[in-house]
Amino acid sequence: MQRRDFLKIGCAALPAALMPELAGAQQASATQRALVMDAMGEIRDVYTPDLLRQIIESGANSVTVTLCDPKSQELQAYQAAIDGILEYDRYIARHPDLLLKATRADDVLKAKSSGRLAIYYLTQNSTHIGRDLDRLDVFYSLGQRCLQLTYNHQNWVGAGCKERTGAGLTEFGHQMVEKLNSIGMLIDLSHASQATMMDAIAASRDPVHISHTACMAVYENVRNTSDESMRALAQKGGLVGICQIRPFLTASRKDNLDAYFQHLKHAISVAGVEHVCIGSDRDHRVIELSEEYMAELKAEEGPNFNPSDWPLFIDQLNGPRRMEVVWDGLVGLGLSEDEAEKVMGTNLFRLYQEVIG
């Protein structure tokens, strides 16, 4: 099947060979029939086989995971990224019947056809590269296919969304964009300042994406993205991924599922349905806000931990079957099944094909 033919018909018409055995072609749910991809989500090595099966049975076909703590710097960042790759490699190797390390766009189809979950590798910062662009070749050879230019603050490449100056892409940042284009590693602009976003969109020959964000026009938060940036991204063929982190979506702590779909609706209206995807940025476990869990978070996040942000999740999206809720909500917005599938997966598949290969 040629790429343009696949994109034309979508995944609803994929042959039965590409359907997981868990759901026969006749009995499959909408999400099981569709191609479902998460541009940035969590798969942790503590996930049990049972939890992984629930994720797959919900229809999810791929998750792009963060390799390591994006706040690390210099040699610590380099080692943390290496360790993250090795840890995920080991985890995937322990569950070959459930997980597939993905380095090509078509790997998600291999995963779907065999009832597995494809795992793509992302770093949420470029600090592990330092000022040595040859390191990009090292990480590409180890399987990394997506790189986020900045985290919240300034690095060698550009400014993050919390940087006081709000500066844009540096000269070295332009060099990194060119190198990433040349090796086929997808550029992620999540957490970037608006100036860095606009500079990188303009500088890149390839489409780029913002894997996990929300809409500034719907709810003002430093992590969210302006309409101007979303339009520029779409004009270059890129995607904006709407996250499921409650404090980025709404101040309401309960009865707030509608807020998530308002962000999706706005992104679609601004960028177009062909330029929106899902980037959950969320755990697949059912989270209960116990004292033990909050203490664990505080230990992990350190000074970044803010108890007033909790719960981070929206109740209906708190668990392994959340993509089914997302599908129903998109259809509830008035999208056709073909349009819903674009947002749920085929848009991201197209981007991966074009950039990663």
- Residue pointed to by tokens 């629930």: 54
How would you classify residue 319: left for phi > 0, otherwise alpha for psi between -120 and 50, otherwise beta?
Answer: left
3-state helix, strand, coil in the chain (%, to 5): 45, 10, 40
Query: Once rounded to an integer, what is the mean pLDDT over residues 302-306?
Result: 79
Higher-pLDDT residue of 202 and 12 is 202
pLDDT digits (tens, 9 = 90+) for 82-131: 999 999 999 999 999 999 999 999 999 999 999 999 999 999 999 999 99
Which residue type does 37 have? Answer: M
Amino acid 271: pLDDT: 98
Amino acid 15: pLDDT: 35
> For the chain, give me the number of helices (H) and strands (E)?
15, 9
Higher-pLDDT residue of 7 and 83 is 83
* Average pLDDT of the residues of the chain: 92
Amino acid 304: pLDDT: 74
Q: pTM above 0.75? A: yes
Amino acid 32: pLDDT: 95
Higher-pLDDT residue of 317 and 165 is 317
CATH T-level fold of 37-355: TIM Barrel (3.20.20)
Amino acid 14: pLDDT: 41
Phi/psi for 152 (5° steps) reads -80, -20
Q: Is the pLDDT reported for residue 13 higher than 50? A: no
Q: Is the pLDDT reported for residue 355 higher than 90? A: yes
Q: Please tell me the distance from the alpha carbon of residue 159 to that of residue 170, in angstroms, as a whole number.
A: 8
Q: Is the pLDDT reported for residue 285 higher than 90? A: yes
Helix axes 322-332, 257-271, angle to 10 degrees: 60
Higher-pLDDT residue of 23 and 207 is 207
Q: Which of these ranges, 169-183, 207-221, 303-317, has the smallest mean pLDDT?
A: 303-317
Chain-centroid distance, C-alpha 11: 20
Tokens of 227: 């309409």
